[in-house]
Structure 1
Amino acid sequence: MKRIGLIDIGSNTIRLVIFECSYSSGLNELQNIKTPARLSQYLTDDKVMKQEGIDILVDTLTSFKKVAEKFSVDKLVPAATAAIRQSTNLKQIVKEVKDKANLEIQIIPEEDEAFYGFYAATHTLNIVNGMTVDIGGGSTEVTYFEDKTLQESVSFPFGVVTLEKMFFENKDHNDKSAIKKCEKFVKEQFESKKWIKDKGVPIIGIGGSARNNARIHQALHDYPIAGVHGYDMYQKDLEEVLYVLKNASKSELKDLDGLSRDRIDIIMPSAIVFNALFEISHASHFTFSRKGLREGVAMTMLKQDFPKLFNKDKVAPDALRFLANEYHINPSNGRQRMKLGELLLNQLNDKIDLNISDSDKALFKEALYLYYLGSYIDADSSSQHTYYIIANSSINGLSHKERVKLALLASFKNKSLLKYYVKDTAWFKDSEIEQIQKLGGIIKFAHALNVSNTDCVTTLQLQEEKEDYELIVKYVTDPIAEAYQSERQKKHLEKLLSKKLYIQFTKG
Structure 2
Amino acid sequence: MKRIGLVDIGSNTIRLVIFEYSEKTGLIELQNIKTPARLYQYLDADKVMAENGINVLCDTLESFQKVADKFNVEALYPVATAAVRQSKNITEIIDKVEERTGIKMRIISEKEEAYFGFYAVVNTLDYEDGVTVDIGGGSTEVTYYEDKELKSSHSFPFGVVTLQKLFFNGKAHNDSEAIEAARKFVKEQLQSLKWLGQRKVPIIAIGGSARNFARIHQSLSEYPIAGVHGYSMSKNDIEYVFKKLISSTMEQLDDLDGLSKDRQDIIVPSGIVFTTLYEEVNATEFIFSRKGLREGITMSILEEDYKHPFDKNEVFKESLRNLAYSYSINHEDAVQRQKLAELLYFELEKMGLIEGDKQQKKLMLQAAYLFYLGSYIDSDASSQHTYYIISNSSLNGIAHRERVKLALLASYKSKSLLKFFMDETGWFSDKEKGEIQVLGSILKFAHALNVSNTRVVTELYLEEEKDHLNLYINYTGDPIAEEYQAERQKKHLEKITKSKINIIFTENLH
TM range (shorter): over 0.9
Per-residue deviation, residues 421-445 of structure 1 (Å, max 9, x unmatched) = 0011100000000000000000000
* Cα distance in 2 for residues equivalent to 1:306 and 1:473: 44
Q: Which residue matches 1:14?
A: 14
Does the CA contact (< 8 Å) of 1:315 and 1:396 recur in 2?
Answer: yes
Instruction: Give me the TM-score of the superposition, normalised by structure 2.
Output: 0.99
**SS of aligned partner of 2:104:** coil
Instruction: Give me the TM-score of the superposition, normalised by structure 1.
Output: 0.99
Deviation at 1:359, TM superposition (A): 2.4
Per-residue deviation, residues 309-365 of structure 1 (Å, max 9, x unmatched) = 200010111101111111111111111101111111111111125234332222101
Does the CA contact (< 8 Å) of 2:333 and 2:455 recur in 1?
Answer: yes
1:188-227 equivalences in 2 (<5 Å): 188-227=188-227
Deviation at 1:467, TM superposition (A): 2.4
Does the CA contact (< 8 Å) of 1:457 and 1:475 recur in 2?
Answer: yes
Does the CA contact (< 8 Å) of 2:469 and 2:499 recur in 1?
Answer: yes
Summarize the Cα distance change of 1:356–1:274 in structure 2 as closer, same or farther, 3 Å threshold.
farther
* Cα distance in 1 for residues equivalent to 2:7 and 2:460: 55
**SS of aligned partner of 1:190:** helix
Per-residue deviation, residues 106-130 of structure 1 (Å, max 9, x unmatched) = 0001001000000001111110011
1:77-88 equivalences in 2 (<5 Å): 77-88=77-88
Q: Which residue matches 2:134?
A: 134
The alignment yields a C-alpha RMSD, in angstroms, of: 0.8
Does the CA contact (< 8 Å) of 2:302 and 2:309 recur in 1?
Answer: no
* Cα distance in 1 for residues equivalent to 2:217 and 2:146: 28
Deviation at 1:503, TM superposition (A): 1.0
Summarize the Cα distance change of 1:225–1:482 in structure 2 as closer, same or farther, 3 Å threshold.
same
Q: Is residue 462 of structure 1 aligned with residue 462 of structure 2?
A: yes
Q: Which residue matches 1:56?
A: 56
Which residue identity lines up with residue 171 of structure 2 in the other structure? K
Does the CA contact (< 8 Å) of 1:352 and 1:497 recur in 2?
Answer: no
Q: Which residue matches 1:380?
A: 380
Q: Is residue 371 of structure 1 aligned with residue 366 of structure 2?
A: no
Large movers: runs of 4+ above 3 Å: none
Q: Which residue matches 1:295?
A: 295
**SS of aligned partner of 2:317:** helix
* Cα distance in 2 for residues equivalent to 1:464 and 1:435: 23
Q: Is residue 426 of structure 1 aligned with residue 426 of structure 2?
A: yes
* Cα distance in 2 for residues equivalent to 1:12 and 1:315: 31
The farther-off stretch of 354-363 and 216-225 is: 354-363
* Cα distance in 2 for residues equivalent to 1:157 and 1:250: 27
Per-residue deviation, residues 40-96 of structure 1 (Å, max 9, x unmatched) = 111111110111000000000011011111111111100000000001100000001
* Cα distance in 2 for residues equivalent to 1:308 and 1:340: 31
**SS of aligned partner of 2:486:** helix
- Percent of aligned positions that are identical: 59
Deviation at 1:472, TM superposition (A): 1.2
Q: Is residue 161 of structure 1 aligned with residue 161 of structure 2?
A: yes
Q: Which residue matches 1:480?
A: 480
Per-residue deviation, residues 467-486 of structure 1 (Å, max 9, x unmatched) = 22111111111000000000
Per-residue deviation, residues 361-401 of structure 1 (Å, max 9, x unmatched) = 22101110100111111111111111001011111011000
Does the CA contact (< 8 Å) of 2:190 and 2:280 recur in 1?
Answer: yes
* Cα distance in 1 for residues equivalent to 2:55 and 2:323: 42
1:112-261 equivalences in 2 (<5 Å): 112-261=112-261
Does the CA contact (< 8 Å) of 1:199 and 1:281 recur in 2?
Answer: yes
Q: Which residue matches 2:355?
A: 355
In the alignment, structure 1 segments of 5+ residues that lack a partner are none
Does the CA contact (< 8 Å) of 2:353 and 2:496 recur in 1?
Answer: no
* Cα distance in 1 for residues equivalent to 2:149 and 2:318: 20
Which residue identity lines up with residue 34 of structure 1 in the other structure? K
The farther-off stretch of 109-118 and 356-365 is: 356-365
Which residue identity lines up with residue 53 of structure 1 in the other structure? G
1:61-76 equivalences in 2 (<5 Å): 61-76=61-76
Summarize the Cα distance change of 1:167–1:415 in structure 2 as closer, same or farther, 3 Å threshold.
same
* Cα distance in 1 for residues equivalent to 2:74 and 2:492: 52
Deviation at 1:504, TM superposition (A): 1.0
**SS of aligned partner of 1:6:** strand
Deviation at 1:291, TM superposition (A): 0.3
* Cα distance in 2 for residues equivalent to 1:36 and 1:251: 20
Which residue identity lines up with residue 183 of structure 1 in the other structure? R
Which residue identity lines up with residue 469 of structure 1 in the other structure? L
Does the CA contact (< 8 Å) of 1:4 and 1:18 recur in 2?
Answer: yes
**SS of aligned partner of 2:124:** coil
Does the CA contact (< 8 Å) of 1:173 and 1:265 recur in 2?
Answer: yes
1:434-449 equivalences in 2 (<5 Å): 434-449=434-449
Does the CA contact (< 8 Å) of 2:367 and 2:406 recur in 1?
Answer: yes
* Cα distance in 1 for residues equivalent to 2:357 and 2:64: 49
* Cα distance in 1 for residues equivalent to 2:35 and 2:80: 15
Q: Which residue matches 2:102?
A: 102
Which residue identity lines up with residue 232 of structure 2 in the other structure? D
Per-residue deviation, residues 131-168 of structure 1 (Å, max 9, x unmatched) = 10000000000000000000000000000011001111
* Cα distance in 1 for residues equivalent to 2:365 and 2:306: 26
**SS of aligned partner of 2:170:** coil
Which residue identity lines up with residue 394 of structure 2 in the other structure? S
**SS of aligned partner of 1:199:** coil
**SS of aligned partner of 1:68:** helix
Which residue identity lines up with residue 279 of structure 1 in the other structure? E
The farther-off stretch of 304-313 and 424-433 is: 304-313
